[in-house]
Amino acid sequence: GAGVSQTPSNKVTEKGKYVELRCDPISGHTALYWYRQSLGQGPEFLIYFQGTGAADDSGLPNDRFFAVRPEGSVSTLKIQRTERGDSAMYLCASSPGLAGIQETQYFGPGTRLLVL
């Protein structure tokens, strides 16, 4: 079946602009996660959705970052007033959401964001 998809694959924007990054999870997966990966580092957690609600948003760096998942499927990560330091790979993952330590998260191909 189809895996996690993310659009766009690349996004170039100017400092101060607003951007939206989209994630389409695996069909039937109720859990969805956003991570940010800076160059040469491992991914860092941003936010976790269970269904439509954000169950954990402790990783969002500041109030310029916001994410939604209005129908419990597709999610959009929104970044306002972008800064050069926001340049990174943004990764989305999904899992069945049955809970449990062993549940594997399946990642999408990511969106490479470059803020000029």
Partner 1 sequence: AQKITQTQPGMFVQEKEAVTLDCTYDTSDQSYGLFWYKQPSSGEMIFLIYQGSYDEQNATEGRYSLNFQKARKSANLVISASQLGDSAMYFCAMREVYNKLIFGAGTRLAVHP
Inter-CA distances, 51 with 30, 33, 55, 58, 93, Å:
5, 11, 9, 17, 14
Q: Which residues pair with 91 in a beta bridge?
A: 35
Instruction: Provide the token pair at 19.
Output: 């951007």
Distance CA 63, CA 78 (A): 10
The one segment of 18-26, 32-40, 70-78, 80-88 that binds partner 1 by CB under 8 A = 32-40
- Work out whether 55 is an interface residue with partner 1 (CB under 8 A): yes
- Work out whether 112 is an interface residue with partner 1 (CB under 8 A): yes
Give min distance, CB of 51 to partner 1, in A.
13
Where does this chain bind partner 1 (CB under 8 A)?
31, 33, 35, 40-45, 48, 50, 55-56, 59, 89, 91, 93, 95, 99, 101-110, 112
